[in-house]
Amino acid sequence: MGAAFVAVFRRDILQAWRRRADWLNTLFFFVIVVSLFPLGVGPEPEPLRTMAPGILWVAALLAAMLSLQRMFGDDFADGTLEQLILAPQPLPWLALAKIAAHWLLTGVPLTLLAPVLGLQFGLEGEPLFVLVAALLLGTPCLSLIGAVGAALTLGVRGGGVLVALLVLPLYIPILIFGAGAVAASAAGISAAPHLSLLAAGLLLALALAPWATAAALRVAAE
C-alpha cells in the first residue's frame, strides 16, 4: 500500500516537473493578484498593512483553486484514472497521494512565496512567521477540499467556473482562521487559537476529504 502511494505521488511530481510551466503559472498568478491590490487601493502603507493578511489569503485561495483542474483532469482524459480505480489498493488512499502531490506543487511554493509578498505590504517580524505557519496548516486543507470539487467537476461542461462555485464557499472557514491568525499576530494578540482551529480543520479534512474524493471519482468514471 505504501509502495502504491509513493508510486502515484512520484508520478504526479515527475509529470509536473516535466511540464514546469503549468505549475509556475499558478505561482505567477498568485504574485500578480497580490500586486494588483495596492494598485487598486492606493499606495498608503497603513491600510495596506491591515489588509495584507486578507489579500494574501484570498490570493492563495484563488491560486490553489485555479490549479485544481490539473489534479485529476489529465488522468481522466487519458484513462489513468480508471486504472487507479481498478487498482487493488483503496482509492481514497491513492487519491490522498494525488492530493499530497498537489499540495507539494502548489501549497508549499505559495507558502514559501508569501512572506516575500508580505514584506511588500509592510508585514514584519512575528506576523510573517505566523503567515507561514498558517499557510502550512491551511494549504493542505485547500488541496483536500479542492480535490472533492475537482473530482465532482471532472468532464463536466464549464468545469473551470463550476469548481470555483463549489469550492470557494467551502474554503471560507480556512480563509477566516488563516487570515485571522496573521491579523491577530499583527495586532499583538496570540495567534495560537486560530492556528489550533486551522490544525483541527486540517485533521477533519484529512479524515473525510479522501473518501468524498474517491466517491466523486467513481461517479465521474462510471
Partner 1 sequence: MAVNWFKYASPQTFYPLAGRLVPLFWLLAIVLGAIGLYIGFFVAPTDFQQGESYRIIFIHVPAAWMSMVIYVVMAAWAGLGLVLNTRLSSMMATALAPTGALMTFLALWTGALWGKPTWGTWWAWDARMTSELILLFLYIGFMALQAAIDDPRRADKAGAILALVGVVNVPIIYFSVKWWNTLHQGASVSLTRAPSMANAMLLGMLIMALAFWAYSIGAALLRVRSVILERERHAGWVRELPPG
Site residues, partner 1 (CB under 8 A):
148, 152-153, 156-159, 162, 165-166, 168-170, 172-173, 176-177, 180, 183-184, 197, 201, 204, 208, 212, 215-216, 219-220, 222
Question: In terms of Cα–Cα distance, which of 45, 201, 44, 195 is closest to 127?
Answer: 195
Of the pair 16, 151, the CB lying nearest partner 1 is at 151
Q: Considering the complex, what minimum distance in angstroms separates the CB of residue 196 from partner 1? A: 12
Instruction: Give CA separation, 135 vs 43, 86, 154, 198, 204, in Å.
Output: 25, 35, 27, 9, 17
Nearer to partner 1, 34 or 183 (CB): 183
The residue (of 54 and 109) whose beta carbon lies closer to partner 1 is 54
Q: 43 or 158, CB closer to partner 1?
A: 158
Instruction: Tell me how far, at minimum, the Cβ of 113 lies from partner 1, in Å.
Output: 25
Q: What is the grid cell recorded at 153?
A: 467537476
Minimum distance from residue 18 beta carbon to partner 1 (Å): 31
Measure the CA–CA gap between 25 and 30, rounded to whole angstroms: 9
Buried (b) or exposed (e) across 21-46, using 16+ Cβ within 10 A? eebeebbeebbebbeebbeeeeeeee
Q: How far is the CB of 13 from partner 1 (least distance, A)?
A: 27
